[in-house]
Chains A and B, each alone.
Chain A
Amino acid sequence: MSKKTIELEVSRTPEMGMDFRPAPGPMQPVDLAEPDLQSERMLINVGPQHPATHGVLRLVLELDGETVVRCVPHIGYLHSSFEKLGEYRTWNQVIPLTDRMDYLAPLIYNCAYAMAVEKMMGVEVTERCKITRVIMMELDRIFSHLLWLGTWAIDVGAFTPFLYAFQQREKVYKLHEAYTGARITTSATRIGGMMSDMPEGWDVGVRKFINELPRTMDEIESLLSHNAIHIGRTQGVGVISAEDAIDMGLSGPNLRATGVPYDVRKDRPYYDYETYEFEVPIGEYGDCYDRYMVRLEEIRQSCRILHQALDRLPEGPMNVDDPRVILPSKTDLMNDMESMIHHFKLVMEGVKAPPGESHFSVEGSKGELGMYVVSDGGSKPVRWRVRPPSFVNLAAIPQLVEGGLLADVIMVNASLDIVLGEIDR
């Protein structure tokens, strides 16, 4: 009987080096307990109903011992064909579909869709609407990152940050509810404006929230950032190089963690983002820990943008003064026959978009969120396409987990920040 040995590539003990990176341990051959045992690769099915897959994602993993040899993701369990449904709805009726895609950051999707249609139609929204949308999008970036932070902490084995994050998240839910009447399915935008002006004191509530948030962030950071278990499980795990990340089409924090400073808000500014003062955090190693750090910093930068946006929020009308897209006021409707007809036609036929198309990208919480709308002059889209950031990010998961350990699959999946509603659409 020959004595077989296997080699440990890298010791996984989280002994910290000088730079808080795990120091590689000495390589020690380990005697196999039962050398006659056949070694066979094993198939293991993760999901679709598994809490750590963050939705109905199914991964078929092929294991050699504890090492993942191959990973095949299966998606489509939540597919409800939003893009097909959109072709049977008027331009404004599509808005409720958008927030059901990414239910973790619904307002970003509402805004991005309205912005794409407005760009195609050549409608320029009012200054107050622009800044309100910036506030909403940054608020939901925080909203989405907080959920990611909480579930990430759960996956790494820490429960307290989850509670801290959800306590803050609840405040954003309340703000959603105060503005739109709904906590998740907000449907806040309309073509040419918002569903309504913001309620009295809403901006004060946002200000209060962003004043309180940094303290919680400090608490969460002190629990995780220098925690040996957290570092040991995330540093050097799921590494991807900058070239590979661009090749795979990663965007958002996942791309920036590899050191590529690509942020749509900076590179192709919309809604005067170039006039706001904020930094784009980037990582260095492209591993799970860097993705964590990038998102933490993004929450703080979003707070900065929110402060500036609230400072410059002007008085004035919320909706454009364009009878083609915006309903007449109730007073006009009751007193003026033309307004009555106008109201009737807008409600019954919907907004009519001139022929054309637009591919409009915003920086969503998950990455570059593109909305591609095509019109043939009717009141319904010929094609409404969402460039789904999580979908493209998730496509990189086989490359990230293959060669790693089974336990790391959970961390890599958590670090990508996916939302299955938008992946499956």
Chain B
Amino acid sequence: MSMEGGSGYKDVPGPAEETGALVSMPSGLERAHATVPVLKERFEDAFLRHEVVAGDEHVVFVARDRLYEVLQWLKTDPDHAYNFLSDVTAVDYGGGRPIQMVYQLYSIPHRRVLRVKAEVPLSDLEVDSVVPLWSAANWLEREVYDMFGVRFRNHPDLRRILMPEVYAEGHPLRKDFPLRGRFSRAEQTRRALAQAPEDYYIPSDFGPGRDFQVVGWQEVGGEPVPVKEGSAQERKASPPPASGSPPDPTRS
């Protein structure tokens, strides 16, 4: 009845590699999936590695710069036709390791699942948006942006979705984000009470022709923050004086 070691579980490989909690499988396994060998042949330079996890789940790592191209091919090629974007999410392993973008694809005609991953270094958190391929990615990418701070190039409406638009403490699902938030409880309360009703609206709420636009990126506190047309940051001429002890990362 030993508590240590990995024996006793079915289909579970040995200890993890350093970079991620995944383990490379013998090369014969990739033939078990109908798409992976073709993908490897077609995108030789973009195809980084292939893993099989949890028994039968195929994961393909691709280069971040070619991600859109690979996903476009996976969606449009009639032999594979991954027309259903099941999930877009990200994983932060912490410790300065790159954030993994995870695309869970499903092909309704072929009944086939494939997980595509791309590693995004913390220094340059940007990938191409896949909204032109699947509209489903719109809110899912907004959530990844909100929770991890990954920016999506060519996203039609990249703004926070679950956290308030004026939220200034960062991106909650990052490993360096403390569970109770960056600000003190007093500062959080003060900010909540100081919110103006307009903070609950976005420019696209007000009349036609004023669609939301990111007009630029602002480097504050070592982290890029989008400056939005008519956003709360722009509207408020003078920010409220920060009384809490931790420094305010957005209103420097």
Chain A positions near chain B (C-beta within 8 angstroms): 41, 43, 60, 62, 69-70, 72, 74-76, 79, 81, 83-85, 88, 119-124, 244, 246-249, 260, 262, 267-268, 322-324, 338-339, 342, 345, 352, 354-361, 368, 370, 372, 374-377, 382-383, 385, 387, 391-392, 394-395, 424-425
Instruction: Give A424's nearest chain B residue, CB to CB.
Output: B162
* A122, A249, A324, A394: the one within 8 Å of B85 (CB): A249
* B16, B59, B89, B143: the one within 8 Å of A377 (CB): B16
Q: A72-B204, A122-B12, A247-B136 are in contact. Are A372 and B1 (CB under 8 A)?
A: no
Main SS class of interface, B: loop
Instruction: Give A346's nearest chain B residue, CB to CB.
Output: B3
* A359, A376, A382, A391: the one within 8 Å of B115 (CB): A359
Nearest CB on A from B233, distance (A) = 18
In whole angstroms, what is the CA distance A43 to B6 when docked?
60
In the bound complex, residues from chain A placing their C-beta under 8 Å from that of B188 are none
In whole angstroms, what is the CA distance A248 to B138 when docked?
9
Contact between B86 and A122, CB atoms less than 8 A apart: no
In the bound complex, residues from chain B placing their C-beta under 8 Å from that of A355 are 15-16, 21-23
Contact between A72 and B205, CB atoms less than 8 A apart: yes
Contact between A246 and B83, CB atoms less than 8 A apart: yes
* A84, A244, A395: the one within 8 Å of B172 (CB): A84
Nearest CB on B from A409, distance (A) = 16
In the bound complex, residues from chain A placing their C-beta under 8 Å from that of B15 are 355, 377
In whole angstroms, what is the CA distance A260 to B86 when docked?
15
Beyond known contacts A355-B22, A376-B16: 20 more, CB 8 A cutoff = A43-B205, A76-B160, A120-B53, A121-B12, A122-B10, A247-B136, A249-B85, A249-B86, A249-B134, A262-B84, A262-B108, A267-B108, A268-B113, A324-B9, A342-B1, A355-B21, A361-B86, A376-B21, A387-B104, A391-B139
Contact between A395 and B12, CB atoms less than 8 A apart: no
User: Chain B 87-98 against A: per-residue CB contact (8 Å), 1 yes, 0 no?
Assistant: 101011110000
In whole angstroms, what is the CA distance A322 to B7 when docked?
12
In whole angstroms, what is the CA distance A306 to B202 when docked?
47
Q: A75-B161, A424-B162 are in contact. Are A383 and B83 (CB under 8 A)?
A: no
Nearest CB on A from B170, distance (A) = 12
Contact between A387 and B205, CB atoms less than 8 A apart: no
* B54, B135, B163, B173: the one within 8 Å of A248 (CB): B135
Contact between A357 and B22, CB atoms less than 8 A apart: yes
Contact between B87 and A345, CB atoms less than 8 A apart: no
Instruction: Give A359's nearest chain B residue, CB to CB.
Output: B104
Contact between B23 and A356, CB atoms less than 8 A apart: yes
Ranked nearest first, the 7 interchain pairs of A and B with the lowest CB-CB distance are A249-B136, A355-B16, A122-B10, A358-B54, A122-B9, A395-B139, A76-B162
Count of chain A to chain B residue pairs whose CB atoms are closer than 8 Å in the complex: 161
Instruction: Give A373's nearest chain B residue, CB to CB.
Output: B54
In whole angstroms, what is the CA distance A110 to B182 when docked?
31
Q: A74-B200, A247-B134, A345-B3 are in contact. Are A356 and B53 (CB under 8 A)?
A: yes
Nearest CB on A from B197, distance (A) = 11
In the bound complex, residues from chain B placing their C-beta under 8 Å from that of A387 are 86-87, 89, 104
In the bound complex, residues from chain A placing their C-beta under 8 Å from that of B177 are 84
- From A81, A260, A338, A359, name the one whose CB has the most chain B CB atoms within 10 angstroms: A359
Q: A324-B3, A382-B93 are in contact. Are A392 and B8 (CB under 8 A)?
A: no
Q: A76-B164, A372-B104, A387-B86 are in contact. Are A122 and B201 (CB under 8 A)?
A: no
